[in-house]
Structure 1
């Protein structure tokens, strides 16, 4: 990714000073933006979802960055998402909506140009399966 020398923080410089945006902030925004889309059942691959379930069982809150990884440069960022969708809904429509919403939210909140949002669909949730990992909308 051009300009991605620093994957930990973005730095926006103006004549009045600089603003640094950490990769964790971009991850959190992207995670919330993805969960806003109807059809996203959960975030994260199999192992990270299980870890999230265990955290929930012991009373810890679920990490909004679960299933999200980012690279952050000085002016640009790239996002990778792992999601689970609901059975019976168009994976392509959900993926496109997630991609668009993440790009819009991250850019609007940080000023960073989002060069790409890669969506990996790791599973399809079927209602009635024994699974309490869901956190998204239907």
Structure 2
């Protein structure tokens, strides 16, 4: 389901894929986030996504102007996981609301792993 708006100049359509790309880009910019992983990766974090694949670690459910977002992330070792997750929630919510005008009513952060850098 996409958000359609009619203006004097034409129709604006915001797809769930566009919302997922915005949310994924906002999440990886947050301190403590290493990357996004695909949902359902069971064998551990063998594949950290970057670049064009950011939206693969994001699920968007949209009902009217309300958006619910689920993120699957990998964090750096040594960070406060709860605080980083809270920062991700606020950043993603802010970016969705300012870029699209839609309301992010729920942002869930699923920490799939912690990466240790040598």
Whether these two folds match at TM > 0.5 is: yes
Check if 1:110 corresponds to 2:100: yes
Q: Which has the higher contact order (CA 8 A, sep 6+)?
A: 1
Q: TM-score, normalised by structure 1?
A: 0.73
Q: Distance in 1 between matches of 2:79 and 2:5?
A: 39
Q: Which runs of 4+ in 1 moved over 4 A?
A: 49-53
Backbone CA RMSD of aligned residues? 2.1
Deviations along 1:32-64, whole A, 9 cap, x unmatched?
0001101001111436x65667xx9xxxx6412
- In the superposition, relative to structure 1, how do residues 104 and 24 fare at CA in structure 2: closer, same or farther (>3 Å)? same
5+ long unaligned stretches in structure 1:
1-7, 129-138
Larger Rg: 1
Q: Distance in 2 between matches of 1:68 and 1:120?
A: 10
Q: TM-score, normalised by structure 2?
A: 0.84
- Within the candidate set 25, 28, 42, 2:35 is matched to 42
